[in-house]
A and B are shown apart, each in its own frame.
Chain A
Amino acid sequence: SYELTQPPSVSVSPGQTATITCSGDKLGDKYSCWYQQKPGQSPVPVIYRDSRRPSGIPERFSGSNSGNTATLTISETQAVDEADYYCQVWDNSAVIFGGGTKLTVL
Chain B
Amino acid sequence: QVQLVQSGAEVKKPGTSIKVSCTTSGYSFSSSDINWVRQAPGQGLEWVGWMKPSGITGYAQSLQDRVTMTRDASSGTAYLELRSLKSEDTAIYYCAKGSDRGPHFDYWGQGTLVIVSS
Contacts and interface: CB of A to CB of B under 8 A. Distances in A.
Interface string A72-106: 00000000000010101110011111111000000
A21 B110 CA distance: 27
A100 B45 contact: yes
Contacts of A94: 47, 58, 60-61
Interface of A: 1, 31, 33, 35, 37, 42-45, 48-49, 52, 54, 84, 86, 88-90, 93-100
B110 A52 contact: no
Interface string B28-46: 0000000101000000111
B13 interface: no
B108 A43 contact: yes
Contact of B47 (A44, A48, A97): A97
